[in-house]
Structure 1
Amino acid sequence: MGKNKSYGDKLFITIVYVLMGLISLVCLYPMWHVIMASFSDPIELMRHTGVILKPLGYSVEGYRVVLQNPNIPRSYMNTIFYVVLGTSVNMILTTFGAYALSRKGYMGKRILTLLIVFTMYFNAGLVPNFLLVKNMGMYNTVWALVLPGAVSTWNLIVMKTAFQSVPVSLEESARLDGANDFVILFRIFLPLSKATVAVMILFYAVTHWSAWFNAMIYLSDRAKFPLQLIMREILIANSTGGNSMTDTDAMFLEEVVKYATIVVSTVPILFIYPFAQKYFMSGVMMGSVKE
């Protein structure tokens, strides 16, 4: 069938490949630019203008400055802890909430759903949220970063829709065999919705990894700062971690330190995507096309 394609089909496919290649280039080049710049010599980088396709005079000085910052190792551990704990809390509450909302036959389901959706469009604001966190004794604790955003309304709706796509006959058969809701959830619904679950884990993990604003608001102890907040300080203040450098050296290092900071804070989370890629499209579509 492929040999019988018309000239118009071949032209269309060629245009699609060209456009996708250009779009891929536009998406990938900024990342490549940052990585190559982070390995460049500070002086050469300051002199260079335009695109960067390879390191300009190979140097790891930027990474040395960033990684010698005494706050980096501790903030890395903090971020990993926040990601693991936060994602676990998110998935537990989202899974139980989605399962409850996907079931039929109980009173108040529509009202409860509307109240949950209401929170997606309306928020009390920064000051009330801060006062709430402080009055509940969560200020300057890990729970201030985990509990206020414990459930994403959008993720809850996506997972609820995925659970609704599971055939009712499977649930009815399980109940005839004496299975309770916990058995049905963990032995039937979650295995059949593993693509959606994988996507939800990815969404929550990336959110926690990239979060810095809540930490800036709710944490006062630097020993508890996550990686992104420390990296933000480096980007803004060009922190050198206590190294003794002249003003000229600091000026040359300024740009390369920024690029190295971006790589250090971004690359680790990118390694998750290849493992979740096969679930991404199927998981999102499964949880969004059926109501």
Structure 2
Amino acid sequence: MTVTPIPTPSATPDQIEPTKLVARKPRLRRRTPGERIFNAVNIVLLTGFALMCLIPFIHVIGSSFATPGELATSNFVLIPKEWTLAAWQYILSTPTIFRAMGVSVFVTVVGTFLSLVVTAMMAYALAKPYLLGRRSINFLVIFTMLFSGGMIPTFIVVSKLGLLDSLWSLILPATVNAFNLVIMRNFFQGIPDSLEEAARIDGCSEIGVFLRVVLPLSMASIATIGLFYAVTYWNTYMGAVLYINDSSKWPIQVLLRQVVIVSSGMNADATVVDVVPPAQSVKMAVIAVATLPMLAVYPFVQRYFVKGAMIGSVKG
């Protein structure tokens, strides 16, 4: 028995070659005159605001490299006519600046780490609806944003705890900020519960869920709150004036105050700033030294800043 093969229709060349799709570039819509004017006005305004923020810092840097004669004849210096390193040599030749910088760095690093740990743990607990007394604790936190004990009661508490003349007096009273706590709590409330339930099914404890699930998803909020805390600790001034009597434990901001007072001819502790009254350029150099560390840290957390602050402030 012979089997006759079934003839197959011959394929045409059009069917063999794949169809070529020609991608057309989207046609850009021409901007109207009103849109062009609007964009031009925006560019001018934003450039003006940027210069308003940048020019004072350029003035400080430029004045730190200017000669005393130029600063005496000109009240506003951006680019000095004659450059000198005398002011920078003066502040870098004395150990006082480095000691104060070391105090500020210690307070900022340790304080920021401790504040993030305490704030994150407290915010995670307050973000859970099953926490007993959650409403009362939230009320007490919000209450401190509106009312506080004041300077004298806080000084008495710090004194009774034996923290006077200790660097911990600059850290512990500012460990938790109510505003930062509310932002982080709202951020934690936006994390889906299904992720935490899945981790618990896999055997994670509550601490394991917090460390392995919640914190990795909250890097934007943590970086933002960390920047808030770091700036607060770095700019510590009033607490150091109230609680620190030993000049060797003063942070950079208090030393900057002494530099300004001595340069103005007022009475101050001259031994703190090496007896020699600093010139205007020295004052500008100290301001630059006190500002540069925060400017160096900000670019690394800037990409998290807007995301972390906005998400934590609109949810919950």
TM range (shorter): over 0.9
Q: Secondary structure, in 3 states, of the residue corresponding to 1:79?
A: helix
* Unmatched 5+ stretches in structure 2: 1-26, 264-269
1:169 aligns with 2:194: yes
Query: 2:136 is matched with which residue?
Result: 111
Q: Deviation of residue 284 (structure 1)?
A: 0.3
Q: Deviation of residue 178 (structure 1)?
A: 1.8
Query: 2:48 is matched with which residue?
Result: 22
Equivalent pair of 1:66/1:261 in contact (CA under 8 Å): yes
Partner letter of residue 11 of structure 1? I
Q: Secondary structure, in 3 states, of the residue corresponding to 1:211?
A: coil
Query: 2:223 is matched with which residue?
Result: 198
1:242 aligns with 2:268: no
Q: Secondary structure, in 3 states, of the residue corresponding to 2:313?
A: coil
Q: Deviation of residue 76 (structure 1)?
A: 1.2
1:286 aligns with 2:311: yes
Equivalent pair of 1:37/1:56 in contact (CA under 8 Å): no
Equivalent pair of 1:65/1:241 in contact (CA under 8 Å): no
The worse-fitting range, judged by mean Cα deviation, of 69-78 and 95-104 is 69-78
The alpha-carbon distance between structure 1 residues 137 and 53, as it changes in their structure 2 partners (threshold 3 A), is closer
Query: 1:99 is matched with which residue?
Result: 124
Query: 1:4 is matched with which residue?
Result: 30
1:47 aligns with 2:97: no
Query: 1:259 is matched with which residue?
Result: 284
Equivalent pair of 1:86/1:150 in contact (CA under 8 Å): yes
* Structure possessing the higher radius of gyration over alpha carbons: 2
The worse-fitting range, judged by mean Cα deviation, of 110-119 and 253-262 is 253-262
Query: 1:132 is matched with which residue?
Result: 157
Equivalent pair of 1:37/1:259 in contact (CA under 8 Å): yes
Alpha-carbon separation, structure 1, partners of 2:231 and 2:274: 30
Report the TM-score when normalising by structure 2.
0.85
Q: Deviations over 1:51-86 (max 9, x none)?
A: 433123101222223233331111111111111111
Q: Deviation of residue 2 (structure 1)?
A: 4.3
Query: 2:241 is matched with which residue?
Result: 216
Tell me how large the CA RMSD over aligned residues is. 1.6
Equivalent pair of 1:130/1:218 in contact (CA under 8 Å): yes
Alpha-carbon separation, structure 2, partners of 1:115 and 1:104: 17
Q: Deviation of residue 87 (structure 1)?
A: 0.7
Q: Deviation of residue 224 (structure 1)?
A: 1.4
More helix by percentage: 1
Alpha-carbon separation, structure 2, partners of 1:2 and 1:113: 52
Q: Deviations over 1:38-59 (max 9, x none)?
A: 110111111114x433123101
Query: 1:247 is matched with which residue?
Result: none
2:86 paired residue among 38, 43, 61? 61
2:258 paired residue among 229, 233, 245? 233
Alpha-carbon separation, structure 1, partners of 2:274 and 2:200: 64
Partner letter of residue 193 of structure 1? S
Q: Secondary structure, in 3 states, of the residue corresponding to 1:206?
A: helix
Partner letter of residue 145 of structure 2? M
Identity %: 37
The alpha-carbon distance between structure 1 residues 231 and 2, as it changes in their structure 2 partners (threshold 3 A), is farther
Alpha-carbon separation, structure 1, partners of 2:28 and 2:221: 34
The alpha-carbon distance between structure 1 residues 196 and 2, as it changes in their structure 2 partners (threshold 3 A), is farther
Alpha-carbon separation, structure 2, partners of 1:2 and 1:110: 54
Equivalent pair of 1:83/1:208 in contact (CA under 8 Å): yes
1:160 aligns with 2:185: yes
Partner letter of residue 150 of structure 1? T
Partner letter of residue 8 of structure 1? G
Q: Deviation of residue 3 (structure 1)?
A: 4.1
Aligned length: 283
Q: Deviation of residue 159 (structure 1)?
A: 0.4
Alpha-carbon separation, structure 1, partners of 2:247 and 2:275: 19
Q: Secondary structure, in 3 states, of the residue corresponding to 1:264?
A: helix
Q: Deviation of residue 231 (structure 1)?
A: 1.4
Equivalent pair of 1:198/1:283 in contact (CA under 8 Å): yes
Partner letter of residue 48 of structure 1? S
Q: Deviations over 1:121-144 (max 9, x none)?
A: 111111111111111111111221
Q: Which has the higher relative contact order, 1 or 2, with Cα contacts under 8 A spaced 6 or more apart?
A: 1
Equivalent pair of 1:215/1:229 in contact (CA under 8 Å): yes
* Unmatched 5+ stretches in structure 1: 245-249
Alpha-carbon separation, structure 1, partners of 2:180 and 2:292: 25
